[in-house]
């Protein structure tokens, strides 16, 4: 049974008035968690590479790419070695990849919960993008873990909501291209 999607289903942080993420102090209104502000603070803490969405927008979208359809909801994917290469497995979905760099690239966006994503044709470009994309995702996870270090339940909840904001930003950046639908993880495009 699905939970209602109203604002009252948000977890609350009673007793906290501010959070510190990415070197910034975020003031809390009431006891609600400001997911988009947490994402922005952690993304801005990256000195050189920028956030995941910025790297994707500036370095993937301008080049020749193809569309890869993924599971479309947040999951815990894994990379499996096969006889003919690699495959990214998430739930019932398996995406075959010719090389490990492509598999690692798809793993990032599968973990976030994207429905489909653009993949550069050139695997050397994909390999060049990996450090920035993986670093951005690791910073995001580590920042949320440090922010809510005492409570794994809140960490999971905030990470899911931040991933929702990431998917929305990716959709917004790709909004001009009707060929590429990216879902919000709920199954709808």
Residue 18 lies in a domain: yes
Confidence tier at 73 by pLDDT (50, 70, 90): confident
- Residues 141, 79, 146, CA angle at the centre, nearest 5°? 10
pTM to 2 decimals? 0.76
Q: Which residues make Cβ contacts (< 8 Å) with residue 26, sequence separation at least 6?
A: 18, 19, 20, 34, 37, 38, 41
Asked if the structure places residue 182 within a domain, the reply is: no
- Distance (Å) of CA 165 to CA 39, 121, 126, 184: 8, 27, 24, 9
Q: What is the DSSP string of 22-62?
A: TTEEEE-STTB--HHHHHHHHHHT-SSS--HHHHIIIIITT
Confidence band, pLDDT 50/70/90 cuts, at residue 45: low
Any domain includes 2: no
The CA-based angle 89-94-95, given to 5 degrees, is 105
| Residue 178 pLDDT grade (very low, low, confident, very high; cuts 50, 70, 90) | very low
Q: What is the per-residue pLDDT for 187?
A: 44
pLDDT of residue 76: 86
Q: Is residue 187 part of a domain?
A: no
Q: What φ, ψ does residue 62 adopt, rounded to 5°?
A: -75, -15
Helix (H) or strand (E) holding 107: helix 100-112
What end-to-end distance do the CA atoms of the chain give, in Å? 21
Q: Which structural domain range is residue 61 located in?
A: 14-173
Check pLDDT > 60 for residue 16: no
Does residue 184 sit within a domain?
no
Q: Stretch 75-104: mean pLDDT, rounded? A: 91
Between 82 and 18, whose confidence is greater?
82
The residue among 161, 159, 184 whose CA lies nearest residue 174 is: 184
Q: What is the pLDDT of residues 111-142, one digit of tens each?
A: 999 998 999 999 999 999 999 999 999 998 99
Higher pLDDT residue, 187 or 57? 57
> How many CB atoms are located within 10 Å of the residue 94 CB?
14
Q: Has residue 122 been placed in a domain?
A: yes
Decide which of 8 and 143 is more confident.
Answer: 143
Name the band, by pLDDT with cuts 50, 70 and 90, for residue 56.
Answer: very high
**18-22, 36-40, 153-157, range with the lowest pLDDT:** 18-22
Whether the pLDDT of residue 95 is over 60: the answer is yes
7 found inside a domain: no
- Asked whether residue 146 is assigned to any structural domain, the reply reads yes
- Tell me the residue length of the chain: 189
Of 116 and 20, the structure prediction assigns the larger pLDDT to 116
Summarize the confidence of residues 91-115 as an average pLDDT: 92
Tokens of 51: 């956030």
3-state per-residue secondary structure call for 109-159 = HHHHCCCEEEEECCHHHHHHHHHHHHHHHHHHHHHHHHHCCCCHHHHHHHH
Q: Specify the number of domains making up the chain.
A: 1
């Amino acid at each position: 049974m699905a939970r209602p999607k109203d604002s009252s289903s948000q977890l609350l942080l009673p007793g906290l008035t501010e959070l510190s993420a990415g070197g910034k102090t975020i003031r809390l209104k009431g006891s609600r968690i400001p997911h988009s502000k947490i994402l922005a603070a952690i993304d801005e803490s990256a000195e050189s590479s920028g956030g995941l969405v910025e790297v994707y927008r500036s370095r993937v979208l301008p080049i020749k790419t193809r569309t890869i359809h993924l599971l479309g909801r947040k999951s815990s994917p894994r990379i499996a070695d096969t006889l003919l290469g690699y495959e990214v497995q998430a739930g019932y979905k398996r995406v075959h990849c010719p090389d490990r760099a492509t598999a690692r690239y798809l793993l990032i966006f599968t973990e976030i919960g994207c429905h489909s994503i653009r993949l550069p044709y050139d695997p050397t470009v994909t390999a060049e993008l990996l450090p920035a994309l993986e670093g951005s995702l690791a910073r995001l996870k580590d920042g949320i873990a440090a922010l809510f270090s005492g409570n794994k339940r809140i960490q999971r909840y905030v990470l899911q909501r931040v991933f929702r904001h990431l998917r929305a930003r990716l959709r917004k950046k790709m909004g001009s291209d009707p060929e590429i639908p990216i879902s919000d993880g709920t199954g709808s495009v």
